[in-house]
Amino acid sequence: MNISDRILVTGGTGLVGKALESYLGDNTLMLSSKMCDLRDFEQTMKLFNDFKPNYVFHLAAKVGGVVANTRYVGDFYRENSMINTNVLEASRLVGANKVLSLLSTCIYPDKCPYPLREEDIHAGEPHASNFAYAYAKRMLDVQSRAYRQQYGCNYITVVPNNLFGKHDNYDLENSHVIPAMIRKFHEANMNGHDVIMWGSGAPMREFTYSEDLAKILVFLMRDYDEPTPINVGNTLELSIKDLAETLSEMMNFKGNIIWDLSKPDGQLRKPSNGDKLISLGWSQDMYTDHETALRETCDWSVKNYKNLRGVK
Ligand code: NDP
């Protein structure tokens, strides 16, 4: 990947896209759904024919939390399948040198040996709460490998764990745990309410700062050419309860956190194995520490509250 290469970032307006933007050169197109609806093949092909990307970071997806994934299960399957099929096919037709697509650790089988290893992605049913999104993402891996085998396309797939950072989605129906908590604490501070969180807070999860993921994606676009997916992300586990307490302190929240035990906890742990990335030269201490990353995210969210995605 050289400075003169044309780089297309699908999902350029999202959490990961915004973090990636500062690491790429002037010949980069950060795509939004307003510029091109990737569910539509004609629009996708026109965009690819006009821009003729050499490298594609394929980040665009219909993304949501448990509520949206369960309620709109058919939409999640159809829209993600269409977006992925169209982007890989258009990339092939214009002869892009390489495509890097994002999967997610939430597509791993529900019952799977820990820590999650790349070779187990297709080894069983995904968790029922997001099975349609998970299967659509798994097919992105299948299509990438099939195109490599038949057409010789250098298409790679990357599997991040839970992400957070600036420019996240704060819509309570679609958001992930960190932006949802930040929004709840901020609004409770404004209104003097207590805060209600789902479940017991006992589950442990891994979280990666979007700025760190961006650096890894650039590194893999340059240096990883294998057909098999690669897990990436900070493998330090935090309990949801510890996360809530850390965020409440950072947000100066003085009320009570009430844990709604009638809501499901989900899986207790979902640790991922990061050995493959480490074997390429990445190490755990290259990640921003959670204290710094969470504080930066809280400060940014408060400063930009009125314009946050899902709030405005
Ligand atoms: P966001 O929800 O923040 O952004 C989604 C992006 O996709 C937006 O830029 C949106 O454009 C674009 N998009 C959605 N639908 C379409 C469409 N029909 N046509 C064109 N563009 C579209 O996602 P993230 O940045 O959080 O996620 C990026 C990738 O990382 C996704 O593939 C996701 O599955 C994966 N991932 C995310 C994790 C997380 O915790 N966030 C965890 C693991 C994997 P617009 O805003 O203009 O509508």
User: 110-147 pLDDT, tens per residue?
Assistant: 999 999 999 999 999 999 888 999 999 999 999 999 99
Q: Quickly tell me which residue has 């797939």 as its tokens.
A: 157
Would you name the residues annotated as active-site residues?
133
What pLDDT is stored for residue 3 in this prediction? 74
Atom of ligand 1 nearest to the CA of 10: 21
Distance of CA 123 to the CA centre of its chain: 22
Three-state secondary-structure class, residue 118: helix
Mean pLDDT of the chain: 96
Backbone angles phi, psi at 103, to 5 degrees: -100, -150
Query: Could you give the domains of the chain?
Result: 7-307 (3.40.50.720)
As a whole number, mean pLDDT of residues 191-216 equals 96
- Tell me the DSSP string of 38-101: TTSHHHHHHHHHHH--SEEEE-------HHHHHHTHHHHHHHHHHHHHHHHHHHHHTT-SEEEE
pLDDT band at 70 (very low <50, low <70, confident <90, very high): confident
As a whole number, mean pLDDT of residues 240-266 equals 95
- Which residues have any ligand 1 atom within 6 Å of their CB? 11-17, 32-34, 36-39, 59-63, 83, 102, 104, 160, 162-163, 169, 176
The answer on pLDDT for 175 being more than 90 is no
Pick from 10, 15, 21, 121 the residue to mutate for probing ligand 1's pocket: most ligand atoms within 8 Å of its CB. 15
How many alpha carbons lie under 13 Å from residue 40 in its C-beta half-sphere? 9
Q: How far apart are the first and last CA of the chain?
A: 37
As a whole number, mean pLDDT of residues 48-75 equals 92
The answer on pLDDT for 65 being more than 90 is no
Does this model's pTM top 0.95? My answer is: yes
Pick from 21, 51, 63, 130 the residue to mutate for probing ligand 1's pocket: most ligand atoms within 8 Å of its CB. 63
User: 39-56 pLDDT, tens per residue?
Assistant: 999 999 999 999 999 999
Structure tokens at 19: 């973090």
